Amino acid sequence: MKKLLSLPENLVKQFHELEQVSSNDFFCASDPSGTKVGSGGGTAHLLHQSWLNDNTQQSLDQWLSQEQRIIIHAGGQSRRLPAYGPSGKILTPIPVFRWEQGQRLDQNLLELQLPLYEQILQKAPNSLNTLVASGDVLIRASENLTNIPEADIVCIGIWTSPEKATNHGVFFCKRHTSSDLEFMLQKPSPEAIQSHTSDHLFLMDIGIWLLSSKALKILMQRSGWNTSLDQFNNRQVSYYDLYGTFGPAMGLHPNEKDDEINKLSVKIITLPNGEFYHYGTSKELIDSTEIIQNQVVDQRNIWQRRVKPHPSMFVQNAITDIELKSDHHHLWIENSHLGHRWQLSHHHIITGIPNNNWNLKLAPENCLDMVPIHDQEVCIRPYGFFDKFNGTLAGGAQWLGTPLKNWLQLKGITLEEAELDPETDIQLAPLFPVTKQPEEKLIQWMLDPTDHSPEIKKIWLSSKRLSAADLNDQANLIRLYAQRDQYRCMNWPLLAKNYRKSVFFQVNLEAAAQDFARNNMELPAPLAEHEEAILRIKDEMFKARVTSLKNGNGQIHEQNAFNILRETIVDTVKNKPALPQLNVYEDQIIWGRSPVRFDLAGGWTDTAPFCLTHGGRVVNLAVELNGQPPLQVYVKPTSEFKIVFRSIDLGLKEEITTYEELANFAQVGSAFSIPKAALCLCGFHPDYAAIQYPSLIQQLKALGAGVELSLLAAIPKGSGLGTSSILAATVLGTLSDFLNLNWDQAEVCHRTLALEQLLTTGGGWQDQYGGILPGLKLLQTDPGIHQQPVARWLPDHLFTRPEFHNCMLLYYTGITRTAKNILAEIVRGMFLNSTTHLRILQEMKQHALNTFDTIQKGNYQLLADHVRHSWNLNQQLDAGTNPPEVQQVLSQISDYTLGHKLLGAGGGGYLFIMAKDIVAASKIKRILEENPPNQRARFVDFALSNDGFQVTRS
């Protein structure tokens, strides 16, 4: 998926170096110099330049239909947001959201925009391969997008009021066919919108359009493309407005006539709980950021424990030696140093200020920007908070909140002295002095209307001066970024030291570790042992990553992190010691058995530490295989005071007589690790027992019998069906009955979580709950160390009625992949607040809720779509989930499936297939039976289990 960016010309030259991104992923170009081409012409020009850059033998028409691409228009002059004109509004630094985890301290608008655009394009039909968006907005959706329909064009809108919609394009749809565009209006008045609401719904255009190659070809032609010549007429793109001209010609009853556009099919979809934030002006920069920052007010979901003096105050990549107070509102300080003698008021944007000891006073609405020019020079740019940098001097264009001609009069400067033409657009007026060493007297003179110093006036007049347009063209962005990086690196130790009141432990710690390692910064001081476990875990994993990047040796810190997690979970059961008592007659056998589980959506969100900080959400079902629960445990008393383990399926036996032998459950290759650890947790080890005994034999004598425990796992290891976790829960549940421990299902499943930590396999809670609890259900937890899922059962007819069940197939691929190594890598990403990991996991959580709703509606095809998306999300989290051997299987049957996924962590084991219909299911069976990937591969019958875990006695 390639990103095509329309950027200011100066930024194009430096973008890849600044952002450290590959030219294979990002193509940048600017609009043709000296001419306006409009959003449509700009799109055509950008596509043409990218096509030329690819140096392909294909015609442009052929090329347009090939790859997926995201087009972002971000090439404006940024007149109303001067601070980020030189580096482009799309690279505006955005503060870390105080309620979010995994964001980067150096994140920018582009970085926050892309995930949604990529998600939309991933869900779009193959025919809609190009997404067009605006570069000065941030659009968020708190829910996952639904499926995107087939059409020539799909536009995305959000619900809003007529008063807000009037500043944008507006889509109108009939109330009974709300996905079909009737017509589009550009910036209609509220009254015009109201006039259509009796029989139409309206949505605000947020600038995200999906275009087919057919629609793109028409857009290219309207922009002057000559298909027969494969070039623009006169070799120059023509002006064309995508939103203002193409848009009004779309729909079933368009307002503009254009036969080709009129015939295009256009669908409108609503962004679920969509949020639209504009970053087009200085005011919007602060207002939009403030709204986002205060979107979450529940203090339990906000990590930092610092309350700012005012919510509209933002400081990042900066050193401030002054005390900020509540009257310093609407304040933005970025990439700057403010010494202790600075005096601020309100409505300031301060950017690019180098290290200084100035005595500066900023009046309300004064803003100050320093832009590096060439190798050593700096341009001083003061301006007013509400300045628009629009209009001519003669027309009253404003600077510093007053008409420029008034400022000149106050300073006693004529237009001739300043070499200013009254008809010059203020964006082109040379107002900003360039110097190697900025002087505070010159800065204060420009800001203070009462300062009439003739000496400073002479300095200003004699200085080399640049216009705002010149600054955009001549800024040395490498120097600008270097200064920002320097300030950020100065911030890191302070953020780490004040972690309780800062965002340190909620940011992307991988990115932080790279900064620490690259700049050879000292590791933060150790956290106290009484500190919250999750902070200590993240601290150790962060230090492991820094150490690894520096010298390749971070194993000690990483092991500390996993140990803290393990001890935290295990301590929750150590605090509840067990008192085992024999609860059978001497000739009785306790028989426990459990189904396995299929995970449909939300897998991985149940895994610590993610679920501890975010809660988890999983949809799964308990299933029997070939007519029986495949996991079975038999426990009986024996006359000899020892513990005997047997594995019926493996044909193995082991006898235990000491605590040491029983506690050796982590031994590599042991067939009886699970029952050993289970018996320890049941009180047959001093660490977990309510009563202490000198030896295991003495404890068994006190019990009155030895214990013989037999296991039957009629399912291969690495199957992806939660085998080991459910087997552990079955052992614990059966022993609870045998030993009169009276553990309910929640306690059995929680102790299973502890058991897996003891075995160092890790894991979450969905496997054991998925098998122990019957049926089809949504399992959900809140954040916290003690995870107690709440189950919400679902109607099961999609899995029981023949017309649906017979379309579902379970295929054992014969390819196994144990989850331990996969788990460790993904958990490491969770510890480090990996932006990518957390974004995918959050999408998985929402996807589980969407799947829950779909099952309630009884929609088989939509459920298949959800299963397919679950599989895609698993692959995004771990690319190894779909190995070549599995892909070979899938490629044989893809024409007959609606959805499929490898169950569990993926990579092998069981493949769940949802066929298009019963005929397709038969074809799938025939194909794979005739062409199996190996001798072990086979189809297995499955049925929903309405019993879950059962325990009975003879």
At 708, which amino acid appears? E
pLDDT at 760: 85
Separation of alpha carbons 140 and 878, rounded Å:
25
Which pLDDT value is given to residue 581? 96
Using pLDDT thresholds of 50, 70 and 90, give the confidence band for residue 182.
very high
Tell me the residue type at 295: Q
d(CA 54, CA 58): 10
Q: Which residue, among 166, 176, 7, has the nearest Cα to 89 in the 3D structure? A: 7
The neighbouring-strand residues paired with 656 are 643
Q: What is the pLDDT of residue 716?
A: 80
Question: How open is the CA angle 643-644-645, to the nearest 5 degrees?
Answer: 125
pLDDT of residue 110: 97
**How many CA atoms are closer than 13 Å to the CA of 816, on its beta-carbon side?**
11
Q: Which amino acid is at 643?
A: I
The separation between the first and the last C-alpha atoms of the chain, rounded to the nearest angstrom, is 62
Angstrom distance (rounded) from CA 157 to CA 442: 48
Token digits of residue 890: 């899938």
Give the ranges where 5-37 is alpha helix by DSSP (H): 9-19
Q: What's the average model confidence in pLDDT over 515-544?
A: 94
Q: Measure Cα distances from 300 to 98, 142, 297, 303, 614 in Å.
A: 12, 19, 9, 7, 11
Amino acid at 126: N
Tell me the average pLDDT across 252-279. Answer: 94
Selection from 869, 894, 872 nearest residue 882 by Cα: 872
What pLDDT is attached to residue 820?
59
- In this structure, the number of other CB atoms found within 10 A of the CB of residue 834 comes to 20
Instruction: Could you list the beta-strand ranges (E) of 801-848.
Output: 808-812
Residue 304 binned pLDDT confidence (cut-offs 50, 70, 90): low
Q: What is the mean pLDDT of the chain?
A: 93
Is residue 519 scored above 90 in pLDDT? yes
Interval 663-679 mean pLDDT = 88
Query: Residue 707 corresponds to which tokens in the numbers above?
Result: 């214990």
Span 899-927, mean pLDDT? 93
Which pLDDT value is given to residue 731? 98
Residue 778 β-bridge partners: 619, 792
SS3 content of the chain, % helix, strand, coil (to 5): 40, 20, 40
Per-residue pLDDT tens for 846-898?
A: 999 999 999 999 999 999 999 999 999 999 998 888 889 999 999 999 999 99
pLDDT of residue 819 exceeding 60, the answer is: no
How far apart, in whole angstroms, are the C-alpha atoms of residue 943 and residue 155? 42
Cite the DSSP H helix spans in 364-476. 404-410, 440-447, 454-462, 468-474
Answer yes or no: is pLDDT of 243 > 80.
yes
The CB density around residue 692, as the number of other CB atoms within 10 Å, is 8
Mean pLDDT of 294-307: 72
Least reliable range by pLDDT among 284-293, 716-725, 745-754? 716-725
| CA nearest to 822, candidates 844, 837, 842, 835 | 837
- With a cut of 70, say whether residue 745 has pLDDT above it: yes
Asked if residue 426 has pLDDT above 70, the reply is yes
Amino acid letter, 806: N
Over range 461-481, report the average pLDDT: 96
Rounded CA separation 466/474 (Å): 9
